[in-house]
Structure 1
Amino acid sequence: MNAGKIAAGGLLVTGLVAGALMYWLQVYAFYEPVTFGPGQTEIRLTPLGSAQPEAIVADHVEGIDADSSPLRFRACFTTPLSQSMLTETYQIYPNPEPLNGPGWFSCYKADEIGHALQTGEALAFLSEPGIHPGVDRVIAVFPDGRAYAWHQLQPETAEGP
């Protein structure tokens, strides 16, 4: 009888440790801060009629990424460029869907960004097509200059065959 209790307790403790480890691996383990600036990672947008992204003015850039998945990139920044200037110069991104980021990366809130995109308050632009195979970098810009970036499956890839 005691052997059964010990075995059950061991299984319970093992399950709790494994669950805590999996949570930590998903939320904290693989993320690294991204360094932004000239000659490093830059915030770029793809101009109309071109496939070659170009750097834009971006201030107060904060970002994270992980090698474990091409979809883990997130960034927050501000830009002095107006939405009207951006729409006249850069490619709009069809069907933007901001992906959730880790809770500890507090500047990036996918639900707020998504709601603003649906209501038309924020506009989404193609930052870099094919940043990874089948993945685009997308940037959403608010009227006050706040902007957010994430990676998203390309529309052809997301729809499937």
Structure 2
Amino acid sequence: MNGKIVGVVILISALIAGAGLYYLQIYGFYEAVAEEEVTLVSLNTDAPEPILFDSFQAIDADSSPIRYRACFTTTQSLAFLTESYVLIDGPEPRNAPDWFDCFDAAAIGAEITAGTALTFMGAKNVHYGVDRIVAITDDGRGYVWHELNDCGEKAYDGTVVGEECPALPEATQ
């Protein structure tokens, strides 16, 4: 009889812990982000410059520098953007929680692969080793996410960062 009680207590504890972990990962740490500028890195100045945008929605979490996701629309043409801002190849959008329904990583990735969306550098090192990536479709929908850059990948996997990377912040050394 005591074994059954202990087993039930363990099972209930595991279910509560699992439900709590699921909630924290999917809902708990995310917060809506107030409207902020959407920027792209200029070909001329190598600095982020704001672009025209509307219908901005974003979420972020303090628990990780790569949890940022945003959606917006723009009236600026891809032709203008490609002549003015830094294009990047190869980024893949990161999944967003299902409840943030404007950001569908699979659909965005398919548009990038099909060539109906282009990816731009939004800002370099928004956090140490993390760049902001912006994808804009030919019909003006835009998406933003954070991606580890080479320095970030080295810093977070424990390999030697090297001289080409900026100094690590004090808290992570």
TM-score computed with the length of structure 1 as normaliser: 0.92
> 1:121 Cα shift?
1.2
Matched letter for residue 134 of structure 2: I
Task: Tell me the SS of whatever aligns to 1:102.
Answer: coil
Match of 2:44 among 45, 49, 70: 49
Query: How far is the alpha carbon of 1:100 from its aligned partner?
Result: 0.3
Distance (whole Å) between structure 2 residues aligned to residue 79 and residue 158 of structure 1: 31
| CA drift at 1:94 | 2.6
1:112 aligned to 2:111?
no
Corresponding position of 1:34 = 33
What percent identity do the matched residue pairs reach?
Answer: 45
Question: What is the CA–CA distance in structure 2 between the aligned matches of 1:73 and 1:97, rounded to whole Å?
Answer: 14
> Which residue identity is paired with 1:121?
T
Q: Does 1:148 align with 2:147?
A: no
2:7 is paired with a residue whose SS is helix
Number of residue-to-residue matches in the alignment? 156
Q: CA deviation at 1:132?
A: 0.6
**Aligned equivalents of 2:153 and 2:51: distance in 1?**
28
Residues 65, 146 of structure 2: 8 Å contact kept: yes
TM-score where L is the length of structure 2: 0.86
For the residue of structure 1 that corresponds to 2:16, the secondary structure is helix
**Matches of 2:45 and 2:26 in 1, distance apart?**
37
CA distances 1:88-140 after superposition (whole Å, capped 9, x unpaired): 00000232110001010000000111111112110000000101111000000
- 2:133, 2:146 within 8 Å by CA — same for their partners in 1? yes
> Which structure ranks higher in relative contact order (CA pairs < 8 Å, sequence separation ≥ 6)?
1
1:1-161 correspondence runs (5 A): 2-36=1-35, 41-155=36-150, 157-158=152-153
C-alpha displacement of 1:63: 0.4
Root-mean-square deviation over aligned CA pairs: 1.4
Q: Residue 52 of structure 1: CA displacement?
A: 1.4
Q: Aligned equivalents of 2:96 and 2:143: distance in 1?
A: 12
Residue 156 of structure 1, CA deviation: 5.2
Counterpart-to-counterpart distance in 2, 1:44 and 1:75: 12
Distance 1:157 1:95, change over 3 A: farther
Cα 1:53–1:66 change in 2 (3 A) is same
Query: Secondary structure, in 3 states, of the residue corresponding to 2:59?
Result: strand
- Give CA deviations for 1:42-77 in whole Å, capped at 9, x if unaligned: 111111032310111010000000111000000000
Deviates more, 1:77-86 or 1:49-58: 49-58
